[in-house]
Amino acid sequence: MNEARAVEILESHDIKPTANRLVIVKALAAAERPLSLSELENKILTIDKSGIFRSLTLFRDNHLVHVIEGGTEGVKYELCKSRDHEHDEDQHPHFYCERCQKTFCLDELELPDIVLPEGYEPHTMNLIIKGRCPECSK
Amino acid sequence: MNEARAVEILESHDIKPTANRLVIVKALAAAERPLSLSELENKILTIDKSGIFRSLTLFRDNHLVHVIEGGTEGVKYELCKSRDHEHDEDQHPHFYCERCQKTFCLDELELPDIVLPEGYEPHTMNLIIKGRCPECSK
DNA sequence: GTTCTTGCAAAATATTTGCAAGACG
DNA sequence: CGTCTTGCAAATATTTTGCAAGAAC
């Protein structure tokens, strides 16, 4: 991504194109895959991690980047219901409520059948839908 | 969940049913939704978090619990490609490689259309498939 | 000069390990 | 006794904030 395009992208999201922000946008664009904060830290040695963090937060708030994770709190654990003790068979979608921050099991729903491109070997699938749970959307 | 059932579950997964582990299994069963380590810490005041953590790790290794999250490293950021600056429209599934620990965008794939039960208000969706990427499955 | 941005340090969280004491067989 | 389990403390890692100096306007 060239300078002009980076400036254009930032401005179209109402973000002032400072030098640091341009570097971060270009790094994200160059990666062509999602990067974590620490991956960006390693790629961009000239900017402090707090600066990268603040830029990413700003980008997220202005819908320039989106975030890939499950819920907002870290890992959650759930009892397996399947009889198969070698594989997780009982996987189902989960719903994370952005208000009460609880995760719900959508047991009754099936995971979709995704056909992957050549070469990918799937093992498990996590599908998390975020929004408001029935209690919090009242 | 009663004691006998908890013992049975643990033993069927080749886990010795110690007092602590029984408490943890029962807590997970009672919750009926996935819990994070800190949620379990708050629920189970009698067991140290490191003990809960070690039990959960053991449970996971023996396929008694499964884990809900995205990738293993925390949050990842990706540039939005959509023109809509209010919403994320360009969401697509992601593939997390358990070997090289990179996350890939499956741009070409569509997110499935999930019909939620009454009351849920969806906002965003994250679909993460884990396994081996083309490079690592060679 | 006023506001915005940045770097550094450090606080706040979250995850994981070392180790010695105790339980179990 | 020898192995497994546990609690406590602490090492790591990660995310987030306070603050003062500097840049931008």
From A75, A104, A132, residue closest to B33, measured CB to CB? A104
Kindly determine whether residue A68 and residue B78, on different chains, have CB atoms separated by under 8 Å: yes
pLDDT, tens digit (0-9, with 9 covering 90-100), for B9-32: 999 999 999 999 999 999 999 988
Lowest mean pLDDT among A117-131, B10-24, B41-55, B85-99: B85-99
Please report which confidence band the pLDDT of residue B91 belongs to, taking 50, 70 and 90 as the band edges.
confident
What are the residue ranges in chain A where pLDDT is below 50? none
**Protein residues in reach of strand D (CB < 7 A):** A 16, 18-19, 36-38, 49-50, 53-54, 57; B 16, 18-21, 46-48, 50-51, 54-55, 73-75
Interchain CB contacts (distance < 8 Å): A and B: 263
Q: Tell me what percent of the residues of chain B surpass a pLDDT of 70.
A: 91
What's the whole-model pTM score?
0.81
Say if residue B122's pLDDT is above 80.
Answer: yes
Please report which confidence band the pLDDT of residue B113 belongs to, taking 50, 70 and 90 as the band edges.
confident
Q: Residue by residue, what is the 3-state secondary structure of chain B?
A: CCHHHHHHHHHHCCCCCCHHHHHHHHHHHHHCCCEEHHHHHHHCCCCCHHHHHHHHHHHHHCCCEEEECCCCCCCEEEECCCCCCCCCCCCCCEEEECCCCCEEECCCCCCCCCCCCCCCEEEEEEEEEEEECCCCCC
Say if residue B73's pLDDT is above 80.
Answer: no
In the prediction, which pLDDT does B10 show? 93
Instruction: Quote the minimal CA–CA distance from A132 to chain B in Å.
Output: 5
In the prediction, which pLDDT does A5 show? 92
The average pLDDT across B110-136 equals: 87
